[in-house]
């Protein structure tokens, strides 16, 4: 149960798969990351001409990877519904014609949408190089991305053993006002963290130790990689403005939170987006681990990598 003042929100099932799909379309950056671009449904075909329509495709420009996206409800059978549907979509998505179709859809978005164009700019990708970068991304093996309302044992088993692609599952939940069911809120993953990542599961099974997504600032404090009271710095300037670049400060607290501007933030990303929005940007998400640096100049992401190397098992 979630409580806001006197309002009580209880978990409720999605009315339909379409409702979940719409939540993903409207909030895809919270799932696939702040540098992602999302293409909703589009028809593609397998080599023998069988048409299929994935729920979408996501392109992570920063990490140069792409996802075949299938939003699903846990009540659907894994073996009779999800598995055959995904198999057809993977086959169709890998066709050269499908990849060309996806590139043209993104190029059209870049032309018509300033927010999409800025995602390439923020990765220092010039307009003339966008098509080349997209070609490079689509030359890599796609990932299967599945937002879902719950992860069953069958789904976990299928994702671990039967899917040829690296698979990530994100849980998206629906909550309704107990007294007014039309008042709805949706719960999205924290820090883009999947509930299941086949690559991380495979590494853990082979003695890979702690998972990448599980590392927190509290872990870095306990490992003496960060100190309580350490100052973190973030430099930011909105592109295409005459504003001066500003440097923001945050202090690491003993519980792993960040104290900045008189507030406490539970994650580096929340602290970073707070200042970015305060500076006038309309961005909704940002990767705080690659935004905040220590006073010695190291990104938090670098400290996290160091922690993972020191904790292999």
- Per-residue pLDDT of 141-160, as tens digits, reads 999 999 999 999 999 999 99
pLDDT (0 to 100) of residue 206: 55
pLDDT at residue 294 greater than cutoff 90: yes
Kindly provide the residue ranges of all beta strands, DSSP E only, lying in 153-208, ordered along the sequence: 167-171, 173-177, 184-187, 196-197
- 54: phi then psi, degrees, rounded to nearest 5: -60, 155
Q: What is the pTM of this model?
A: 0.87
Which run of H or E residues covers position 40?
strand 36-40
**Is residue 167 pLDDT above 90, yes or no?**
yes
Please give the sequence-ordered ranges of beta strands (E in DSSP) within 143-270, or none if there are none. Answer: 143-148, 167-171, 173-177, 184-187, 196-197, 231-236, 246-252, 258-260, 263-265
Summarize the confidence of residues 128-150 as an average pLDDT: 96
Question: How many C-beta atoms lie closer than 10 Å to residue 145's C-beta?
Answer: 29
Q: How far apart are CA 2 and CA 148, in angstroms?
A: 20
Enumerate the domain spans of the chain: 2-205, 217-310
Contacts of 87 (CB under 8 A, 6+ apart): none
């Amino acid at each position: 149960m979630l409580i806001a003042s006197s309002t009580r929100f209880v978990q409720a099932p999605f009315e339909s798969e379409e409702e979940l799909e719409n939540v993903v379309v409207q909030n895809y950056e919270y799932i696939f990351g702040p540098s992602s671009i999302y293409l909703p449904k589009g028809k593609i075909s397998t080599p023998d001409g069988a048409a299929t329509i994935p729920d979408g495709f996501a392109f992570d420009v920063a990490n140069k990877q792409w996802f075949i996206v299938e939003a699903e409800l846990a009540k659907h059978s894994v073996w009779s519904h999800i598995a055959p549907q995904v198999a057809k979509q993977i086959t169709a998505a890998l066709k050269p014609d499908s990849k060309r179709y996806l590139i043209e859809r993104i190029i059209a978005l870049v032309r018509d949408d300033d927010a999409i164009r800025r995602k390439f700019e923020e990765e220092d990708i010039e307009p003339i190089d966008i098509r080349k970068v997209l070609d490079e991304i689509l030359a890599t093996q796609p990932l299967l991305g599945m937002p879902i309302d719950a992860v069953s044992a069958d789904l976990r088993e299928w994702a671990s053993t039967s899917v040829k692609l690296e698979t990530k599952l994100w849980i998206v939940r629906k909550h309704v006002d107990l007294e007014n069911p039309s008042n709805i809120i949706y719960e999205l993953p924290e820090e883009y963290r999947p509930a299941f990542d086949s690559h991380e599961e495979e590494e853990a099974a082979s003695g890979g130790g702690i998972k990448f997504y599980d590392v927190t600032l509290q872990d870095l404090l306990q490992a003496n990689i960060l100190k309580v009271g350490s100052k973190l710095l973030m430099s930011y300037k909105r592109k295409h403005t005459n504003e001066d670049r500003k440097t923001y400060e945050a202090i690491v607290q003993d519980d792993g939170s960040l104290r900045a501007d008189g507030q406490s933030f539970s994650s580096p990303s929340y602290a970073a987006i707070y200042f970015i929005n305060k500076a006038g940007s309309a961005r909704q998400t940002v990767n705080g681990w690659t935004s905040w640096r220590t006073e010695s100049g190291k990104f938090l992401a670098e400290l996290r990598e160091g922690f993972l190397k020191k904790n292999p098992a």
